[in-house]
Amino acid sequence: MHILVCGGTGCKSSNSDLLVSTLRNELLENGLDKEVQVVLTGCFGFCEQGPIVKVLPDNIFYVGVKPEDAPEIIAEHIIKGRTLQRLLYEDPTTKEKIQNAKGMNFYKKQLRIALRNCGFIDPERIEESIARDGYAALGKVLTELTPEETVQIIKQSGLRGRGGGGFSTGLKWEITAKSQADQKYVVCNADEGDPGAFMDRSILEGDPHTVLESMAINGYCTGADKGLIYIRAEYPLAIARLKIAIGQAREYGLLGKDILGTGFNFDIDLRYGAGAFVCGEETALIHSMEGERGEPTFKPPFPSEQGYMGKPTNVNNVETYANIPPIILQGAAWFSSIGTEKSKGTKVFALAGKVNNVGLVEVPMGTTLREVIYEIGGGIKGNKKFKAVQTGGPSGGCLTEKHLDIPIDYDNLIACGSMMGSGGMIIVDEDDCMVSMAKYYLDFTVEESCGKCSPCRIGNKRLYEILETITKGKGTIEDLDRLRNLSDVIKDTSLCGLGQTSPNPVLSTLDNFMEEYEAHVLHHKCPAGQCRDLMTYWIDTENCVGCTACARVCPVSAITGERKEVHLIDAALCIKCGACMEKCKFNAVYVS
Amino acid sequence: MTKVKTLADLKRLREELQDKIHVRESGDHPESIVQVKVAMATCGIASGAKDVMVFFMEELEKRGIDSVVTQTGCMGYCYAEPTIEVTLPGHAPLVFGFVDKRKADEIIEKYIKNGELVDGIIPITYQSINESQQEGQI
């Protein structure tokens, strides 16, 4: 028998360590320590009900177990074989006690469609992919469905582009299919550029064949025989695995001429990007593939009408493609039964920042932020207070406490002043300054602006400068109006998505954290204590023993004082590096 | 390699491969073949998964355990990298997190050799459209 105890950060903070030792002691006293083993596990993703205990092989799931429950668990469950009713989870709506975790809602919080093979198959062996239905969807469309029927399935499924915009995938395919041309192209956008997003990389590294298969399906639907994957050179492992996958698919005849004897030809090549953020925008991506500068051009014409080499080109993101084969095999009705009214299926999020379980999660659309952060994500690191979550990277905005219970989908996020983006989710806690965060994203967009149009090239730079002034404590209340006006102008007048969205972090922090901006400009204070220029280091005359440790470590010799006498920091010289504070053993250095 | 020429070929191939992988998982001699999968995406490799994979290959051979060590993609538990999945014959697969060489040694000695569970199991917390793979997992 085994007793599994959750050792995730959430459960640990509610005393699961003591629970483990109490259980082990109880077993020892009852002479059962050889037969029953107590094992600490990772997070069960049900932190609000922690600590979690699971008894095997009975498969009984206990919640909220305290160290004082240990004797009863051993006496009743382990020795007498009776389930402890009072420690079972009670379904909040039906009030029914649930024994097996499989019947609990939290298990249903994550549903893996796009990630179905990630972490299961060896990505470098096509055989493992085929064994798990790889290329079966391609086989089905080639032999049983017409291109029009296939497009209809995708349309009916309600799948929307996972790259961020959320345009109907089926509609995009239909437009490309209807465009008349002697040559068409299928492009996979693997230029994942949002800081903190890594789901596309993980799919390409874990299940490259699903993307190849899906592109071939698209080729069949739109009448293209050539596929191109635009991938950034910074993803060497994904590139290596894609190359292996393409090679194996060709060997098996699943790419190339006359696929499955149906007369359908399709082949795929790679194109490397140099890692420019703007090349995630489809027109810029196409120009980059053509060997031109990676700059966007005005739409229309849309790539579906006039794209790569002037020919109709269907551009979809990696995660979008990864959803196609299951839709073909399981049907549009199945897919559209998952999610919300206007956003169907699941979305993969890359959880990063101040959250315990950093990682990739795939949840049905309509899951709330609270479920993602506090249950799947295991809560905020170090039990700090949640402040905000940035979704959509530099193009998105921040969502706060009041947005925690809003179901996540494309339209709700936009209504809250953020966006889905590619699915990066950066969690921010009470120690983070929102002005600095907006400044960080602007720094990124200033760097990544291609420079083609002035609102973005010049406007973002000015935005950055105003933010910098504010974080230095030299901002004025008028600067806040300037930020807002300039942001609106940039949004309204930029050519492409980069400029149209780059002021979003500024606007959403202004909307949600006005008091932090005001503290910076009116009182020259940073409430989170992150803006260095607004801090002053002091030495507490009571605590200082005159050990000279701080003076020795100071890189600019700003600290003076005789041995065994109180030291002093010269604020004019101090560069606020914090070295003295780290060094002091007597808590004599403080910040205000 | 023979090309897959028709959909029937593909279906036959899929069945053959499913059998083959099943055989690899449960073993010709069900009591002896152990399968270890190491999550080798960029995140895993950056946290040392390559060394762990080499360690498993070398040590399992040295200690005379009939086994297959393979790589796989990201399992999604980036906070607990390197992560591995161990399937003992006749048992459901188990995922372990934070596997360094010391942990790997413990897993070989305790879990693989004696079927004794060790700390650091990562419970499966999601549903997949391939439901069967999760049956009976922790």
The string of DSSP codes covering A105-156 is GGGGS-EESTTTTTTTS-TT-HHHHHHTTTTHHHHHHHHH--HHHHHHHHHH
Tokens of A386: 């949640």
User: If contacts are CB pairs under 8 Å, which of residues 105-124 in chain B contact chain A?
Assistant: 116-123
Check residue B135 and give its pLDDT: 47
Find the mean pLDDT for residues A514-531: 92
ω before A208 within 30° of 0 (cis)? no
Does position B136 have pLDDT exceeding 60, yes or no?
Answer: no
Distance from CA of B96 to the nearest CA of A (A): 8
| Per-residue pLDDT band at A10 (split at 50, 70, 90) | confident
Supply the Cα-derived Rg of chain B in whole angstroms. 16
Contacts with B85 from chain A: Cβ below 8 Å = 119
Residue of B nearest to A236 (CA): B42
A142-166 per-position pLDDT tens digit: 999 999 999 999 999 999 999 888 9
Check if B20 contacts A (Cβ < 8 Å): yes
Check residue B25 and give its pLDDT: 54
Check if B92 contacts A (Cβ < 8 Å): no
Does position B94 have pLDDT exceeding 70, yes or no?
Answer: yes
Mutate to test the interface with A, among B129, B130, B133, B137 (most CBs of A within 10 A): B129
Residue B110 falls inside a structural domain: yes
Check residue B133 and give its pLDDT: 45
- Percent of chain A predicted with pLDDT > 70: 99
Residue of A nearest to B124 (CA): A44
User: From the list A136, A206, A251, which residue is nearest B72 (CB)?
Assistant: A206
- Percent of chain A predicted with pLDDT > 90: 70
Residue B51 falls inside a structural domain: yes
Distance CA A87, CA A73 (A): 9
Find the mean pLDDT for residues A69-94: 87
Distance CA A201, CA A384 (A): 30
| Per-residue pLDDT band at A534 (split at 50, 70, 90) | confident
Residue B92, number of CB atoms within 10 A of its CB: 13
Does position A472 have pLDDT exceeding 50, yes or no?
Answer: yes
pTM of the model: 0.87
Residues 6+ apart with CB under 8 A from A29: none
Distance from CA of A540 to the nearest CA of B (A): 39
Find the mean pLDDT for residues A555-566: 91
Check residue B138 and give its pLDDT: 58
Mutate to test the interface with A, among B21, B37, B47, B72 (most CBs of A within 10 A): B72
Tokens of A588: 């004599």
Find the mean pLDDT for residues A442-466: 95
Residue B114 falls inside a structural domain: yes
Does position B103 have pLDDT exceeding 70, yes or no?
Answer: yes
Distance from CA of B63 to the nearest CA of A (A): 25
Strand partners, B87: B35
Mutate to test the interface with A, among B117, B133, B134 (most CBs of A within 10 A): B117
User: If contacts are CB pairs under 8 Å, which of residues 57-76 in chain B contact chain A?
Assistant: 70-76
Identify how many contiguous H helices and E strands chain A contains and give both numbers.
24, 21
Check residue A434 and give its pLDDT: 95
Does position A473 have pLDDT exceeding 60, yes or no?
Answer: yes
Distance CA A330, CA A534 (A): 58
User: From the list B13, B75, B127, which residue is nearest A130 (CB)?
Assistant: B13
Does position A175 have pLDDT exceeding 90, yes or no?
Answer: yes
Check if B126 contacts A (Cβ < 8 Å): yes
Does position A398 have pLDDT exceeding 80, yes or no?
Answer: yes
Q: Under an 8 A CB cutoff, do B4 and A260 touch?
A: yes
CATH topology of domain A346-429: Ubiquitin-like (UB roll) (3.10.20)
Supply the Cα-derived Rg of chain A in whole angstroms. 28
Q: Which CATH class is domain A126-333?
A: alpha beta
* DSSP strand pairing (A397-400 vs B34-39): unpaired
Q: Under an 8 A CB cutoff, do B123 and A45 touch?
A: yes
User: From the list B5, B14, B75, which residue is nearest A119 (CB)?
Assistant: B75
Total domains in chain B come to 1
Distance CA A366, CA A289 (A): 36
What is the 8-class DSSP label of residue A47?
A: G
A276-335 per-position pLDDT tens digit: 999 999 999 999 999 999 999 998 999 999 999 999 999 999 999 999 999 999 999 999
User: From the list B10, B17, B39, which residue is nearest A127 (CB)?
Assistant: B17
| Per-residue pLDDT band at A357 (split at 50, 70, 90) | confident
Check residue A104 and give its pLDDT: 67
Q: Which CATH class is domain A536-591?
A: alpha beta
Enumerate the CATH 3.40.30.10 domain ranges in chain A, comma separated: 2-106
Tokens of B62: 């040295």
Mutate to test the interface with B, among A128, A143, A199 (most CBs of B within 10 A): A128
**CATH code at B116?**
3.40.30.10
Distance CA B84, CA B60 (A): 15
Distance CA A14, CA A378 (A): 13
b/e map B53-75, b = 16+ CB within 10 Å: bebbeebbeeeebebebbbbbbb
Does position A531 have pLDDT exceeding 70, yes or no?
Answer: yes
Residue of A nearest to B127 (CA): A111
Q: Which CATH number fits the domain A434-522, given the four candidates 1.20.1440.230, 3.40.50.300, 1.10.10.410, 2.90.10.10?
A: 1.20.1440.230
Distance CA B123, CA A179 (A): 49
Check if B133 contacts A (Cβ < 8 Å): yes
**Containing domain of residue B123, as a range?**
29-134
Angle, CA of A117, A119 and A124, to the nearest 5°: 80
Residue of B nearest to A137 (CA): B7
Check residue A293 and give its pLDDT: 93
Distance from CA of B118 to the nearest CA of A (A): 6
The yes or no reply on domain A2-106 and CATH 3.40.30.10 is: yes
Does position B32 have pLDDT exceeding 80, yes or no?
Answer: no
| Of residues B124 and B9, more confidently modeled | B9
Enumerate the CATH 3.10.20.600 domain ranges in chain A, comma separated: 346-429
Residue B131, number of CB atoms within 10 A of its CB: 8
C-alpha A95: how far from chain center: 34
Check if B48 contacts A (Cβ < 8 Å): no
Question: Which residue, among A83, A82, A100, has the nearest Cα to A91 in the 3D structure?
Answer: A100
Residue of A nearest to B98 (CA): A42
**A-B interface: how many C-beta pairs under 8 angstroms?**
181
Check residue A33 and give its pLDDT: 86
| Of residues A37 and A458, more confidently modeled | A458
Find the mean pLDDT for residues A50-55: 86
Check residue B132 and give its pLDDT: 45
Check residue A106 and give its pLDDT: 62
Residue B2 falls inside a structural domain: no
Q: Mean pLDDT for chain A?
A: 92
